[in-house]
Amino acid sequence: MKPFPFGANTTGPVPRVPGRGALLRGSRTRFDRVLPAAFLLMVAGGAYAADVRLPDFGSSADVMLTPDIERRYGEQMLREMRAANLIFDDPQIRDYIDGLGFKLVAQSERPDRDFTFFVLRDESLNAFAMPGGYIGIHAGLVVTAETESELAGVIAHEVAHISQRHLARAFESASKSQLPIALAMLGAIVAAQAAGNSSGDLAQAAVVSGTALMQQQMINFTRGNEYEADRVGIQTLARAGFDVNAMPNFFARMHRVNRANGSEIPEFLRTHPVDTTRIAEAKERAAQLASEKGALRPVDDAGVALPLTVPRLAIPNPVSDPTARPAAADALPAFLLFRERVRALSSRTPSLLVQDYRRHLESTGGGGDGLADARRYGLGLALVRAGRPEEAVPILTTLARDHPDSTAVQLAVAEAESMAGRHAAAVERVRQLDVRRPGERAITQSLAIVLLAQSRKEDAQQAARRLKPVLEKLDADASLIETYARASQLAGDEVRAGEMYAELTLLNGRPDDAMGQLRGLLDRADVDHYQRARIEARIAQITPWALFVQEERRKQADPGPQFH
């Protein structure tokens, strides 16, 4: 039986995210072992970085690096990361991080900016901002955060880097020489793949090391930028109702880790240098804001207060959407469930993680508090990933009885039931959730997956009908597209399935291949007039992006005259 993929990347070998203890001891990942090779690839691909011919965007930051150019670079980097299987496309993880991120964006200095949040399958303790409003959070940082406010503090800090235009300013101060770092990273990935690296280690290392290099050299986080991001980020935390002390407290804990580990410096501290002065200033600002309790509102460039809305948050999220219904008194904290989901789905050795969970539960007596129940949830997920769903079902069913309003727990039970062969029970459980909370992405996708488990055409047709409106409503989501593609294929709609697989190819950063797949569909004899028009329109939409990627790769191959 195939795994029950609530997310497109929830199966297969991925970097293990150990428990908090291992992270705080400064454990190394396999990325560290291949980092020198990846760096050599980047040097080889970017030895002429300062010589790459770039378009003349002018001298001001806003002109030199336009929002459109920023977005294109950021989007391509995200697609390369997804192609390297570094991005969580799990709907529940995405919904949570979107809800938390956009709650902060709504209270930031630039709530009108476009942002994209994502979680990486990387055990290192780090977070970063990329051009175009892309913000990545490493799994290691998620499982190390002790409270939602600590995680929110890190995200608010990264949002501030973007809202304060630190990236664009750094591009200008570097006289255009830093932009090719992004291209060198993409070139390293291509070179690693061309070398026949089947495991993908070099390609993954190129992404991770390239991102860190961008932070230090392209983004060029100076002390001034870091302090400004702290000040602005703490103010955003206050506006959004989080604990303003969370950011300085998290920094202080990382600083202690740094001193205890000696040379084993967490990645977060390499790209976000922390010293006692910075911690003291952050604490002072937090204390000031905590005492004000005033009307902190974001303003536009003219100083006019902006409405406190959450842009692009299409689905209500009980964690972050102030209009959502209040949580039940016995509800599990959503942050704890999110953290354990990231831990469980990131583990390369789920069987060992099962043992870790059981040891924790035994050592604490397994009380019925939120932390213990969240660990039971993680234990159930780890058992499913370890191929032992029969053991997971009773654990998760008991948890679901204690927390009947928890969507995450109910979906975990359905996952275990489906994997254990109890298809009817899984379908009925998710149907009941769908009736109570219609239109939610995670529930709709989970319903489609349990319907597809037995590969029956009538079930696949029903799954495709349920997924289509959700897919049209939301931004591109790889796991959702993959589920819809499989549903269309099982339902007998080969043309629609082909379109969806082309979209997956596009999301993996290969627009040329995606257009080739779409053109192949036009050669089919069973393509009707409406399908042909839709496919041709999509090819026209993709063409500019494909040309952009081709041009950037051409620049790498032909650096042209030097800039001095």
Q: How far apart are CA 382 and CA 348, in angstroms?
A: 10
Q: What residue numbers bound the domain in which 93 lies?
A: 60-292
- What percentage of residues in the chain have a pLDDT greater than 70? 62
| pLDDT above 50: residue 487 | yes
pTM across the whole model: 0.74
More confident: 348 or 412: 412
The C-alpha atoms of residue 439 and residue 419 are separated, in whole angstroms, by: 24
DSSP assignment of 359-408, as one string? HHHHHTTT-SSHHHHHHHHHHHHHHHHTT-HHHHHHHHHHHHHH-TT-HH
SS3 state of residue 134: strand
* 317-335 confidence digits (pLDDT tens): 333 333 343 444 446 899 9
Residue 94 lies in a domain: yes
Instruction: Please check the confidence at residue 39 and state whether its pLDDT lies above 50.
Output: no
- Write the pLDDT tens digit of every residue in 216-259: 444 444 667 777 888 888 889 888 989 888 887 887 777 676 56
pLDDT of 36 reads 29
- Of the spans 43-57, 155-169, 264-278, 320-334, which averages the highest pLDDT? 155-169
The three-state secondary structure class of 449 is helix
Burial 297-326 (b: 16+ CB within 10 A, else e): ebeeeeeeebeeebeebebbbbbbeeeeee
Q: Tell me, what's the pLDDT at 43?
A: 29
Taking the C-alpha atoms of residue 194 and residue 198, their distance in angstroms, rounded to an integer, is 10
Determine the pLDDT at residue 483. 95
CA angle 550, 555, 559 (to 5 degrees): 165
State how many domains the chain has: 1
pLDDT at res. 445: 95
CA-nearest of 500, 511, 494, 509 to 546 is 511
Query: 118 pairs with which residues across the strands?
Result: 136
d(CA 172, CA 63) in angstroms, rounded, equals 10
Q: How far apart are the first and last CA of the chain?
A: 60
Does 455 reside within a domain? no
- Percent over 90 (pLDDT), the chain: 42
How many whole angstroms separate alpha carbon 40 and alpha carbon 45?
A: 8
More confident position, 196 or 554: 554
* Residues sharing a CB contact under 8 Å with residue 490, sequence separation 6 or more, in sequence order: 452, 455, 456, 457, 459, 460
3-state percent helix, strand, coil for the chain, nearest multiple of 5? 65, 5, 35
Q: Band the pLDDT of 38: cuts 50, 70, 90.
A: very low
Judged by DSSP in three states, 263 sits in coil
pLDDT band at 482 (very low <50, low <70, confident <90, very high): very high
Average pLDDT, the chain: 74
Q: Are 84 and 207 in contact (CB under 8 A)?
A: yes
Distance (Å, rounded) from C-alpha 499 to C-alpha 514?
Answer: 9
More confident residue, 9 or 113: 113
Asked which of 175-184, 256-265, 300-309, 509-518 is least confident by mean pLDDT, the reply is 300-309
Q: How far apart are CA 208 and CA 215, in angstroms?
A: 11
pLDDT at 358: 96
Q: Which amino acid is at 393?
A: V
Q: Assess if residue 414 is contained within a domain.
A: no
**Does residue 198 sit within a domain?**
yes
Q: What is the pLDDT of residue 75?
A: 85
Q: Is pLDDT above 50 for 297?
A: no
Q: How confident is the model at residue 404 (pLDDT cuts 50, 70, 90)?
A: very high
Helix or strand holding residue 83 (H, E): helix 67-83
pLDDT at position 304 = 46
Task: Read off the pLDDT of each residue in 477-501 and give the average, rounded to a whole number.
Answer: 95
Which distant-in-sequence residues (6+ apart) come within 8 Å of 412 by Cβ?
Answer: 377, 380, 381, 384, 392, 396
User: Does the pLDDT value for residue 343 go beyond 80?
Assistant: yes
Is 411 within a domain? no
Q: Report the pLDDT averaged over residues 107-119.
A: 90
State residue 488's pLDDT score: 97
Q: Is the pLDDT of residue 475 over 50?
A: yes
Residue 137 has pLDDT above 50, yes or no: yes
CA distance 470 to 450: 17
Residue 350 belongs to a domain: no
User: At residue 449, what are phi and psi to the nearest 5 degrees?
Assistant: -65, -45
Q: What is the pLDDT of residue 525?
A: 93
User: Does 258 reside within a domain?
Assistant: yes
Model confidence over 347-369: pLDDT tens digits? 999 999 999 999 999 988 766 66
pLDDT per position as a tens digit, 15-36: 333 333 332 333 333 333 333 2
To 5 degrees, how large is the angle CA 30–CA 32–CA 37?
Answer: 100
CA–CA separation, 265 and 289 (whole Å): 31
pLDDT at 286: 63
Tell me the mean pLDDT in the region 483-512. Answer: 94
Which is more confident, 72 or 394? 394
Q: Which two tokens stand for residue 122?
A: 């990387």
Whether residue 426 is contained in a domain is answered as no
Better-scored residue on pLDDT, 201 or 343: 343
User: Per-residue confidence at 376, pLDDT binned at 50, 70, 90?
Assistant: very high
How many residues are listed for the chain in this entry? 564
